[in-house]
């Protein structure tokens, strides 16, 4: 599978050549949003500041649009924040570059523009990564190479999509960090994730404290009927299982055998997990 088969690794310049030439003023009310915009949250304060700048200096960098598929107006390709700020500033028109663009290029440009921004939140990045994998058929390793990131970094961000939606929203809102989210992944039960996240936010806990809290609040396996306390898992084995779980980023079980040995069971939930676990153990 060729790594450079899409524009993701080449940046916006490769997909939007001669971006500084041919700008024209287009009516703002005739420009439709990009349906593939991965970014959901736009800070009102930052948009208000940009709108003030637009009122004073105008739009310095043109947005990019393509003719709308149905021939009525245009569709935004790149420049969501600038378009929103121009609307807030009350401008009737906005400088724009009109470029023919395929549906796939529309997706690529929207993803690239946002993934290259430093203020995109971790959940938006994770959703964008997932879209790249699903719509372009990339592997995590290929995506990581094209984004200039490690495969582990991409995999860890993608894992945040396994969190309960309420926890994901807290990360999107900035109430929890990506590190807090990764700590909460140690909890399998969504209700436990939410409850622990609320304690983390209420106590303003650090990521390290969140990791310790998540370990202490993991759902304990129920004892089978007829078993005594002596049959409960050995505390040392439980500690080893927790350490392996943190290192591998997935559920780990240690089952002792009868003669001093036992079995280590490492769970994975999708092919990308298995790939990441193999990398973590040097396989």
Within 8 A by CB and 6+ apart from 230, the residues are: none
Judge whether 277 and 156 are in contact, CB under 8 Å. Answer: no
pLDDT tens figures, 139-198: 888 888 877 788 888 889 999 999 999 999 999 989 999 999 999 998 988 999 999 999
CA distance 109 to 81: 14
Strands laid side by side in the 93-98 sheet: 24-27, 93-98, 63-67, 74-78, 31-32
Contact of 111 with 8, CB cutoff 8 Å? yes
Does the pLDDT of residue 15 top 60, yes or no? no
The set of catalytic residues is 80
Cβ atoms 170, 201 nearer than 8 A: yes
What is the reported pLDDT for 41?
A: 66
- Mean pLDDT score, 262-283: 76
pLDDT for residue 242 is more than 80: no
Cα–Cα distance for residue pair 214/251, rounded to 1 Å: 13
Check pLDDT > 70 for residue 267: yes
Tell me the three-class secondary structure of the chain, residue by residue: CCHHHCCCCCCHHHHCCCCCCCCEEEEHHHEECCCCCCCCCCCHHHHHHHHHHHHHHCCCCCEEEEECCCCCCEEEEECHHHHHHHHHCCCCEEEEEECCCCHHHHHHHHHHHHHCCCCCCHHHHHHHHHHHHHHHCCCHHHHHHHHCCCHHHHHHHHHHHHCCHHHHHHHHCCCCCHHHHHHHCCCCCHHHHHHHHHHHHHHCCCHHHHHHHHHHCCCCCCCCCCCCHHHCCCHHHHHHHHHHHHHHCCCEEEEECCCCCEEEEECCCCHHHHHHHHHHCCC
> Which domains can be identified in the chain, with CATH numbers?
22-102 (3.90.1530.30), 177-219 (no CATH), 233-280 (no CATH)
Q: Pairing relation of β-strands 93-98 and 74-78?
A: unpaired
- When mean pLDDT is compared across 44-48, 129-133, 276-280, the lowest value belongs to 276-280
């Amino acid at each position: 599978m060729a790594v450079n088969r899409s524009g993701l690794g080449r940046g916006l310049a490769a997909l939007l050549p001669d971006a500084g030439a041919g700008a024209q003023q287009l009516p703002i009310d005739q420009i439709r949003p990009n349906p593939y915009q991965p970014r959901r949250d736009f800070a009102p304060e930052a948009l208000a500041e940009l709108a003030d700048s637009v009122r004073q200096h105008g739009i310095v960098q043109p947005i990019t649009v393509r003719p709308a598929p149905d021939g009525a107006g245009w569709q935004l390709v790149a420049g969501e924040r600038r378009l929103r700020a121009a609307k807030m500033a009350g401008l009737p028109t906005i400088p724009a570059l009109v470029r023919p663009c395929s549906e796939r290029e529309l997706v690529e440009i929207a993803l690239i523009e946002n993934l290259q921004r430093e203020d995109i939140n971790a959940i938006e990045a994770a959703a964008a990564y997932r879209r790249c994998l699903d719509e372009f058929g990339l592997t995590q390793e290929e995506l990581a190479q094209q984004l200039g990131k490690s495969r582990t970094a991409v995999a860890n961000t993608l894992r945040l999509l396994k969190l309960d939606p309420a926890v994901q929203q807290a990360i999107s809102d900035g109430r929890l960090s990506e590190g807090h989210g990764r700590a909460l992944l140690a909890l399998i039960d969504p209700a436990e994730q939410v409850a622990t996240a609320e304690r983390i936010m209420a106590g303003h806990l650090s990521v390290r404290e969140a990791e310790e809290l998540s370990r202490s609040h993991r759902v304990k396996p129920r004892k089978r009927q007829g078993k005594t306390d002596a049959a409960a898992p050995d505390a040392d084995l439980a500690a080893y299982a927790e350490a392996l779980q943190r290192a591998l980023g997935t559920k780990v079980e240690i089952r002792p055998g009868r003669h001093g040995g036992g079995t280590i069971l490492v769970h994975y939930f999708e092919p990308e997990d298995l790939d990441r676990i193999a990398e973590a153990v040097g396989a």
